[in-house]
């Protein structure tokens, strides 16, 4: 591991019930930890899939009056025109790429790995998948946005993941990351990767959180993109 992730504890992990032949790396939202998401994935686990829920390092966050909290990068605002922490986003993305490399060393090929995240974590997973040279199976992006979107399509010009599958989910009553921001992100993504591979789902009345219906949709997506291998 490199960069500021050294201060973060080891990820919360839900091991595969049998030999792990696929993995999900899922990044929590601002001020949270990986533990709650590990519990959520334990509830929808697929036997051959390992779930890795890392914890963000603690840092001062401008959006919250510079209070220190778990955060993948600094956030100045949550509107589409807010300034962004470009250096922090790129540094965090390199740390996620290092996590992918670690799983490849553990014997899971990158094309059997799905990145995902909620809110700030979902934003980082989208950015990482579009800018990495590692071929991934796809992204699960919950209640989030695409960071540094003005850097695309140039930033994804040589994208290895033009044909990856993306499940993007957003509550239509989200007061923090407005639903329209999520919908605009889905449209932007359609200009960067194969639009036929992008699914955008909305959830009526859902605020800035997840819900059981959404987690079932996530499980179905994972089952489709990370099928069991015949010799398991």
pLDDT tens, residue order, the chain (232 aa): 344 444 568 999 999 999 999 999 999 999 999 999 999 999 999 999 999 999 999 999 999 999 999 999 999 988 778 899 999 999 999 999 999 999 999 999 999 999 999 999 999 999 999 999 999 999 999 999 999 999 988 766 668 999 999 999 999 999 999 999 999 999 999 999 999 999 999 999 999 999 999 999 999 999 999 999 875 4
Active site residue 7: no
Q: Identify the three-state secondary structure at position 230.
A: coil
From residue 209, alpha-carbon distances to 117, 124, 177 in Å are 12, 17, 10
Cis peptide before 153 (omega within 30 of 0): yes
Q: Residues 84, 90: contact at Cβ < 8 Å?
A: no
User: Which residue out of 119, 125, 143, 159 is catalytically annotated?
Assistant: 119
Active site residue 35: no
Q: Residues 187, 179: contact at Cβ < 8 Å?
A: no
Closest to 156 (Cα-Cα) out of 136, 137, 131, 134: 131
Owner of token pair 């992204």 = 139
List beta partners, residue 27.
117
List beta partners, residue 201.
169
β-strands 138-142, 113-118 pairing: parallel
Cα 61 off chain centre by: 20
Instruction: Pull the structure tokens for residue 212.
Output: 């059981």
Active site residue 79: no
Output the pLDDT for position 1. 37
Output the pLDDT for position 8. 64
Output the pLDDT for position 10. 92
Output the pLDDT for position 81. 84
Output the pLDDT for position 78. 82
């Amino acid at each position: 591991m490199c960069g500021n992730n050294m201060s973060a504890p080891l990820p919360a992990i839900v091991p595969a019930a049998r030999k792990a032949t696929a993995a999900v790396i899922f990044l929590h939202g601002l001020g949270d930890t990986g533990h709650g998401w590990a519990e959520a994935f334990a509830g929808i686990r697929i036997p051959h899939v390992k779930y890795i829920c890392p914890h963000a390092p603690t840092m001062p966050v401008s959006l919250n009056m510079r209070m220190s909290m778990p955060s993948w990068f600094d956030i100045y605002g949550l509107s589409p025109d807010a300034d962004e922490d470009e250096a922090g986003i790129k540094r965090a993305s390199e740390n996620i790429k290092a996590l992918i490399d670690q799983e490849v060393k553990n014997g899971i090929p990158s094309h059997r790995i799905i990145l995902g995240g909620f809110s700030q974590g979902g934003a980082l997973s989208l950015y990482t998948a579009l800018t990495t040279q590692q071929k991934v199976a796809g992204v699960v992006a919950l209640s989030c946005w695409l960071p540094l979107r003005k850097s695309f399509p140039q930033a994804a010009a040589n994208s290895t993941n033009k044909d990856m599958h993306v499940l993007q989910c957003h509550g239509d009553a989200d007061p923090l990351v407005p639903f329209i921001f999520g919908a605009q992100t889905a449209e932007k993504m359609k200009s960067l990767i194969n639009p036929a591979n992008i699914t955008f789902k909305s959830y009526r009345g859902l605020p800035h959180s997840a819900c059981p219906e959404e987690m079932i949709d996530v499980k179905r997506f994972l089952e489709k993109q990370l099928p069991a291998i015949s010799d398991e």
